[in-house]
Amino acid sequence: MKKRALTGVKPSGTPHIGNYLGAMKPIIDLQNDYETFVFIADLHSLTTVRNAEELHRNTLDVALDFLALGLDPERTVFYRQSDLHEHSELAWILSCITPFGLMERAHAWKDALATGKKDPTVGLFTYPVLMAADILLYQADLVPVGKDQKQHVEIARDLAEKFNGIFGETFKLPEEMTPEEIASIVGTDGEHKMSKSYNNTIQIFAPEEELKKQIMGIKTDSTPVEAPKDPDTDTVFKIYSYLATPPEIENLRDKYLSGGFGYGEAKKMLLTKYLEHFGPAREKRIELAKNLGYLGDVLKSGGEKAKKIASGTMEQVRQRTGLIL
C-alpha cells in the first residue's frame, strides 16, 4: 500500500519561487510514489482576508497555479478545505484537548504578537488546531511544508498522540518533510526568506516585464565587473542554483570566479533560465484560465474523493468521543 502525503496551500496571492520549491514542487514530485492530497486552505485564509471577492479570486488562482505547475488531478486528490465541514468539526473537537500553552508557544503566534499585530484574533491563535485537523482527517503519513510550517506539523502530531491517549488509537502520527536545501529560499533582498510579506519575491506567473524587474532588483554587493566574485554569498547565484542543472551551475560558478563577469549579466542568465524553467507552466496556466468550468469540476470531484476519507475518520472520532446516540 502506498503511503499518504498531504499538504495545504493558502490562497493568498500569486505564488513565488519560495512557495513553489518549498511547498508546491515537493508534493507534485511525490505523486507517483505516494497517495497524494492537496487542498486549498481557504478557511485558514479567513484569518487575513476580509473580502469575499478576493478570497474567491485567490482560490481560483491557486488552483490554476497548481494545475499549471504539474498537479495531476488523476493522481492527486485536489480539493477545497471549506467544501468539507469535517475540517471545522474536527478542529473544534481537537481544540477541546489542546493545551492553551501549546498554542501560546507556536512561533507564528508569538511572531504575530512580537511584531505588534493589531487585534490578533482567536482564529489566528487556534490556526494550528485547524491545520492539525486538516492533516489528521486523512491519516497522512507525510506533510511536505516549508520551514515556517514545520512546528505546526509537530503540533498536529502532539494532538494526535494526545487524542489517541485519551480516546484510543484513532489517528496516524504525521511526519513533516522539509528538505534542508529548499527549507528557506532566500528573497531578492538577499537578507530574508522570500516572502510576500517582505516584498522580496520572484513570482512564477508575473508578466515578463514584471519578472524582469524582480530579477534585476536582486541585491548584490559592489564588487566591480572585472573582479572575481564569490558565488556562495551571492543571491543571484543562489536563486540560479535552485533552477539550473549541475553543469549549468558549475559554468556560472566559473564565470564568477574568473572575473570580468558582472552581476547584470548573471541576472540576465537567471531571467533566461527562469523563463525556460517556468515557460511551459506559464503557457499552460493561460490555457487553463480559459476553461474555469474544468477547474470547478476538478475541485468538485476532488472534494467527493476527500469526503469519503474524511467522513470515515469522523465516524470513528464520533464513536470514540461519544458524539453518537
Binding-site residue total for ligand TRP (CB under 6 A)?
13
Binding-site residue total for ligand ADP (CB under 6 A)?
19
- In the complex with ligand ADP, the residue whose CB is nearer, 195 or 321, is 195
Element (H, E) at 175: strand 175-177
- Measured between alpha carbons, how far apart are the two ends of the chain, in Å? 34
Q: Which of residues 33-52 bind ligand TRP (CB under 6 A)?
A: 41, 44
Please list, in sequence order, all residues whose beta carbon lies within 8 angstroms of the beta carbon of residue 42, skipping any fewer than 6 positions away: 10, 11, 55, 59, 80, 81, 82
Return the range that interacts with ligand TRP (CB under 6 A); candidates 127-135, 217-225, 236-244, 304-312. 127-135
Q: Is residue 302 at the binding interface for ligand TRP, with CB under 6 A as the rule? A: no
Q: What's the Cα-to-Cα distance from 112 to each of 9, 107, 109, 121, 323, rounded to whole Å?
A: 20, 8, 5, 10, 35
- In the complex with ligand ADP, the residue whose CB is nearer, 236 or 317, is 236
Q: Is residue 87 at the binding interface for ligand TRP, with CB under 6 A as the rule? A: no
Q: Are 255 and 206 in contact (CB under 8 A)?
A: no
- In the complex with ligand TRP, the residue whose CB is nearer, 37 or 240, is 37
Q: Is residue 201 at the binding interface for ligand TRP, with CB under 6 A as the rule? A: no
Q: Are 129 and 103 in contact (CB under 8 A)?
A: yes
Which of 28, 67, 77, 135 is close enough to bind ligand TRP by CB under 6 A?
A: 135
Nearest CA to 147 out of 103, 113, 210, 192 is that of 192
Q: Is residue 196 at the binding interface for ligand ADP, with CB under 6 A as the rule? A: yes
DSSP-based three-state secondary structure for 7: strand
Residue 215 site contact among ligand TRP, ligand ADP, none (CB < 5 to 8 Å, cut-off depends on kind): none
CA dihedral 75, 80, 85, 89 (to 10 degrees): 90
Q: Which of residues 6-45 bind ligand ADP (CB under 6 A)?
A: 10, 12, 18-19, 21-23
Which of 36, 126, 184, 188 is close enough to bind ligand ADP by CB under 6 A?
A: 184
- In the complex with ligand TRP, the residue whose CB is nearer, 93 or 143, is 143
Q: Please, what is the minimum distance in Å from the beta carbon of residue 100 to ligand ADP?
A: 24
Q: Which of residues 117-176 bind ligand ADP (CB under 6 A)?
A: 145-146, 148-149
Q: What's the Cα-to-Cα distance from 233 to each of 167, 185, 186, 236, rounded to whole Å?
A: 52, 14, 11, 9
Residue type at 115 in one-letter notation? T
In this structure, the strands spanning 142-144 and 175-177 are: parallel
Q: Is residue 194 at the binding interface for ligand ADP, with CB under 6 A as the rule? A: yes
Residue 11 site contact among ligand TRP, ligand ADP, none (CB < 5 to 8 Å, cut-off depends on kind): none
CA dihedral 251, 146, 16, 125 (to 10 degrees): -160
Please list, in sequence order, all residues whose beta carbon lies within 8 angstroms of the beta carbon of residue 251, skipping any fewer than 6 positions away: none
Residue 196 site contact among ligand TRP, ligand ADP, none (CB < 5 to 8 Å, cut-off depends on kind): ligand ADP
Q: Please, what is the minimum distance in Å from the beta carbon of residue 127 to ligand ADP?
A: 12
Please list, in sequence order, all residues whose beta carbon lies within 8 angstroms of the beta carbon of residue 183, skipping any fewer than 6 positions away: 22, 146, 147
DSSP-assigned beta bridge partners for residue 284: none
- In the complex with ligand TRP, the residue whose CB is nearer, 28 or 135, is 135
> φ and ψ at 180, to 5 degrees?
-55, -45
Q: Which of residues 4-33 bind ligand TRP (CB under 6 A)?
A: 7-10
Residue type at 157 in one-letter notation? R
- In the complex with ligand TRP, the residue whose CB is nearer, 83 or 234, is 83
Return the range that interacts with ligand ADP (CB under 6 A); candidates 31-39, 195-203, 227-235, 272-280. 195-203
For ligand ADP, the binding residues (CB under 6 A) are 10, 12, 18-19, 21-23, 145-146, 148-149, 182, 184-185, 193-197
